[in-house]
Structure 1
Amino acid sequence: MLETLVLAAICLIGIAGVMLIGKGAFIKAKAELSQVLLKRSFAAQLDGGTGGKPWPWADFSTEAEIVAPRIGRSAIVLSGASGEALAFGPARLANTPMPGESGTAVIAAHRDTHFRWLKEVKPGDLLMIKRRDGKTLTFRAGQGRIARWDQSGINANAPGRHLALATCWPFEATVQGPLRYIVSAELISDAGKQSFASLN
């Protein structure tokens, strides 16, 4: 009887382990598939497609692609920083202008996923954005800074054409706090409809 209980316990532990591994693999596969769908959606918009929703039930659309050439990082930027959008990538805050328009465009993302690389951006680095209308913009990053979420100092209506990238801080924290890490950047080139490759 004892041997049967031990064997049953071992089987249950084994089944639970397989289920946990399977769940982890499913989440990873879902994340990778979503990035493929986001890239396809954005590419379709560049080719003249409309809508920009990567899947029919999404509450966001693809708006741009951001590239940090020096560190080799890129991401598709989504519309509206809703909880669903931020789960899949960086998103432009709805009450801020599109990158390249007058004012400060604000793009936010999670520190442990899509903006994990933000801490690697140094003052003077180029940040390139290709919008869904095909326009390519180059911004120069300034010094990163830390501020409370409600005291960010970001003015969406500031004169000029600026970009602010924001994520939670500190990067290694496991719980959300009131602090944000912000990299501000200024537009230095509006190259029109060019590819990233032609600007590197």
Structure 2
Amino acid sequence: MLTIRKILSWVLIVLGLCLILDAFVVKTYHYPWRTLFGSYDQSEFSVQDPASIVAKDVVLTQTEPEGLPAIPSAASLPASLPGDEKAISPSQPAYVQLGILKIPVLNVSEYVLEGTEGQLHYGVGQVVGSKGIGQKGNCVIAGHRATTFRYLNKLVSGNRIILKAEGNVYTYSVYESFTVLPEDTWVLGEVRGETYALTLITCTPYLVNSQRLIVRARLIDINGMKPEGY
């Protein structure tokens, strides 16, 4: 007859296998399979808008700030780039919704909120001090690697990033990606040679978070028109 110890051992083995299978299924479901194919729809309609944020401690408002400050000087930049080590701030009563971010190839669709602290728990955050969505300069958006930007490293040159704000649709095209240290805040400033730049930031390597992954994109389309002719 099986002893209680053997029965418990078998139960633990089965539970362990179930957990492994569950993790495999979840990862398979969320993996951006589009990155394996050369042809796919990268329009804003290929990804649905994000679901409404329902949380008792969060209120989304469409109220725009009085105006984002200019890019700070090197001396006034934060000591490190936004990262996953930021804790959620329970004291903030409301978050300002600036727009929607979509990355069709990664099946990403999230709200863009103002700020990069607790906001990253509910979407992605625009770094305060960077240029606004669609404005000239460098618009900087950060997201958690464990959630929204899990597969940001899969982006390659030519992939589209779509930002929707104030009734406008801005389409950016990825042109480079690289890693920096958390203290390399120069990536938040103006991008040489780029009039309309977009910088996405997340932690890397995955689950290690000792560096920051930077993805750069340039604006190529506003509501179906070239930026210079809009």
Which TM-score band (shorter chain)?
A: 0.5 to 0.7
1:180 equivalent among 200, 212, 216: 212
Q: Give 1:89's aligned residue.
A: 123
Aligned residues: 144
The Cα shift of 1:105 comes to: 0.6
Check if 1:139 corresponds to 2:139. no
Q: Give 2:148's aligned residue.
A: 114
In 1, Cα distance between the equivalents of 2:214 and 2:135?
A: 19
The Cα shift of 1:87 comes to: 1.7
1:185 maps to amino acid:
A
Change (3 A) 1:87 1:141: same
Asked whether the equivalents of residues 162 and 187 of structure 1 are also in contact (C-alpha less than 8 Å), the reply is: yes
Asked whether the equivalents of residues 138 and 196 of structure 2 are also in contact (C-alpha less than 8 Å), the reply is: yes
**Larger helix proportion, structure 1 or 2?**
1
Change (3 A) 1:97 1:38: farther
Check if 1:51 corresponds to 2:63. yes
Change (3 A) 1:145 1:192: same
Q: Give 2:86's aligned residue.
A: none
Q: Which blocks of at least 5 consecutive residues in structure 2 are unaligned?
A: 1-49, 55-59, 65-91, 226-230
After superposition, give the CA deviation of every residue in 1:61-93 in whole Å (9 maximum; x if it has no partner): 2111111122322211111112x1112221000
2:97 maps to amino acid:
T
Q: Give 1:30's aligned residue.
A: none
1:166 equivalent among 201, 206, 215: 201
In 1, Cα distance between the equivalents of 2:62 and 2:204?
A: 36
Change (3 A) 1:51 1:191: same
In 2, Cα distance between the equivalents of 1:79 and 1:155?
A: 15
Asked whether the equivalents of residues 97 and 113 of structure 2 are also in contact (C-alpha less than 8 Å), the reply is: yes
In 2, Cα distance between the equivalents of 1:152 and 1:111?
A: 18
After superposition, give the CA deviation of every residue in 1:10-34 in whole Å (9 maximum; x if it has no partner): xxxxxxxxxxxxxxxxxxxxxxxxx
Asked whether the equivalents of residues 100 and 112 of structure 2 are also in contact (C-alpha less than 8 Å), the reply is: yes
Check if 1:38 corresponds to 2:71. no
Task: Report SS of the residue matched to 2:120.
Answer: helix
- Select between 158-167 and 104-113 the one with higher mean Cα deviation: 158-167
Asked whether the equivalents of residues 95 and 113 of structure 2 are also in contact (C-alpha less than 8 Å), the reply is: yes
In 2, Cα distance between the equivalents of 1:85 and 1:192?
A: 30
Change (3 A) 1:155 1:168: closer
Task: Report SS of the residue matched to 1:78.
Answer: strand
Quote the RMSD (CA, aligned, Å): 2.9
Q: Give 1:10's aligned residue.
A: none
In 1, Cα distance between the equivalents of 2:163 and 2:99?
A: 7
2:96 equivalent among 46, 61, 78: 61
Q: How does 1:182-197 map to 2 (within 5 A)?
A: 182-191=214-223
Asked whether the equivalents of residues 96 and 114 of structure 2 are also in contact (C-alpha less than 8 Å), the reply is: yes
Change (3 A) 1:146 1:91: same
Change (3 A) 1:120 1:184: same
Change (3 A) 1:188 1:85: same
In 1, Cα distance between the equivalents of 2:62 and 2:224?
A: 20
- Percent sequence identity over matched residues? 24
